[in-house]
Amino acid sequence: MLEDSDNTQSIDIFTGTIWEVRLVQSMLADAEIESFVRDSSLGTFLLDPVKSTNCKLMILEKDQKLAKQIVDSYYKNLKKEGE
């Protein structure tokens, strides 16, 4: 029997284009956080990966704290680029 505090639920940690999601997924993989991509708009057939939106990067709840730090770092670096 699984307990409520098991942290095996998957949660959405990042949403964006498939390109952005794959970049953040690579950053998470470097931190040994497993993830998977869920694309609600195009299913598994991506015709234009730059324009496809609503892609979600899913992780296990137990990895949320570290993953959030990585995603926040990604956004911080984007902001620096735009200055």
Q: What is the pLDDT of residues 22-80, one digit of tens each?
A: 999 999 999 999 999 987 655 545 555 555 667 899 999 999 999 999 999 999 998 88
- Residue 25, Cβ neighbours under 10 Å: how many? 22
Segment 10-25 mean pLDDT:
92
Report in angstroms the alpha-carbon separations of 30 from 26, 41, 58.
6, 27, 16
Segment 4-28 mean pLDDT:
87
The third-level CATH classification (topology) of the domain covering 9-82 is Alpha-Beta Plaits (3.30.70)
Report which of 64, 83, 65 is spatially closest to residue 12, judged by C-alpha positions: 64
pTM score of the predicted model: 0.76
How many residues are listed for the chain in this entry? 83
pLDDT at 1 over 50: no
